[in-house]
A and B are shown apart, each in its own frame.
Chain A
Amino acid sequence: MARILTIGVLTEDIVNTVKPTPMKIQRYARPIIIVAWVAMRRMQ
């Protein structure tokens, strides 16, 4: 067993894992946004 000294900075890490957007949302989100945007433009 070796006696080892490490010198440096100690931090508090706050890790946030971001999950990918579900495929269903990826598939439908864009057309829904486009339709909504076009509808809004027409209403104006």
Chain B
Amino acid sequence: VGGNAANAVMKLAWLKNESCWLGNLPDHATWVRQQLDHWDVDYSLAQELKQGHLPTSFITLPEETGSRTIVHHRDMPEYDAEHFLKLDIRAFDWLHFEARKLVEIPQMMSKARGMCGIPVSLEIEKPHQGVEAMFEYADVIFFSKEYAQSRGFSNANDFLKAVEFHGIATCAWGALGAWAKNDFGQMFYAPAKENVHVVDSVGAGDVFNAGMVDGICRGMDVESALQHAVLLAGDSVEHEGVVW
């Protein structure tokens, strides 16, 4: 099983949180259901679709360079706000979204945060046009290195200081470690784990995000949550998959 939100939810379940995944699921995806059941991820709220197939990512990992080439195929529609707005989400302590090319995501985030008062985190991986419009609906944003570079920054520290977002923000920078900013603009840094034998780097960013959410939900301050997330991501690259 893969996909950013799916990797994050699997890790959150692995960290003993009551974890639920929401999105579109084809009604014939038996293998995926078995995986989610195995790792104790609740998918009862997911929207079952009769058309389309489970999106597939073919990932090539050269052992020599550690780079990743992903060929992605999907014919299933994106998860829509119409389904989300009908759900009762008041029982949740935290909602985590991935920023996709979807104008409906702010609607969903707005319901969670504004109507229900639930903290919302947002992962910004790709520099999609207009993604900044989602910032105001998030309490926590996980920015990617790719996004920071697309805005002309060559390091996470300068990017986080400059970005116009006043909640908690993080930016992981691979082997250099990760940076975070709290609500008051105070900066923190956590170095990456040393002497790591990289086995599989796929999903390490999702594990980092899950670690931040887990840490904050456990009452850690931003600095401790950042250290917790970096350690988890470092452990993750030494294993195949995000859970084991």
B interface footprint on A10-43 (CB within 8 Å = 1, 0 otherwise):
1111111111100000000000000000000000
Q: Which of B62, B63, B96, B100 contacts A6 (CB 8 A)?
A: B96
**A12-B56, A13-B202 given; A4·B100 CB < 8 A:** no
- Chain B residues lying within 8 Å of A5, measured Cβ to Cβ, are 20-22, 45, 89, 92, 94-96
Query: What interface size band does chain B fall in?
Result: 35 or more
Contact of B19 with A4 in the complex, beta carbons under 8 Å: yes
Contact of A10 among B6, B17, B45, B217 (CB under 8 A): B6
> Please, how many angstroms separate the alpha-carbon atoms of A27 and B64 in the complex?
17
Q: A6-B8, A8-B100 are in contact. Are A14 and B58 (CB under 8 A)?
A: yes
Chain B 24-66 interface mask (CB, 8 Å, partner A; 1/0): 1100000110000000000001000000001111111111100
Interface of B (DSSP majority class)? mixed
Say whether, besides A3-B18, A7-B97, A14 and B12 are in contact (CB < 8 Å).
no
Q: Is the CB of A13 within 8 A of B213?
A: no
Interface residues on A, range: 20 to 34
B167 to A: closest C-beta gap in Å: 17
Interface of A is mostly: strand
Q: Decide: A12 and B63 in contact? CB cutoff 8 A.
A: no
- CB pair A12–B59 under 8 Å, yes or no, is no
Give the contacting residue for B23; candidates A8, A12, A20; CB below 8 A.
A8
Q: Which partner residue on chain A sits nearest B54 by CB separation?
A: A12
B3–A10 CB distance below 8 A: yes
B8 / chain A contacts, CB cutoff of 8 Å = 6
A1-B16, A1-B18, A2-B94 given as contacts; is B63 within 8 A of A8 (CB)? no
Asked whether, in the complex, the Cβ of A12 is within 8 Å of the Cβ of B108, the reply is no
Which listed residue, A8, A16, A20, touches B6 by the CB 8 Å rule?
Answer: A8
Alpha-carbon separation in the docked complex, A18 to B58 (Å) = 13
B residues near A (Cβ < 8 Å) are: 1-6, 8-9, 12, 16-25, 31-32, 45, 54-64, 72, 74, 78-79, 84, 89, 91-98, 100, 108, 200, 202, 213-214, 217-218
Known interface pairs A4-B19, A6-B95; 17 further A-B residue pairs with C-beta atoms within 8 A, sorted by A's residue number: A2-B18, A3-B18, A4-B18, A4-B93, A7-B5, A7-B23, A7-B97, A9-B79, A9-B100, A10-B2, A10-B6, A10-B54, A10-B55, A13-B2, A14-B58, A15-B59, A17-B61
Interface residues of A (CB under 8 A from B): 1-20
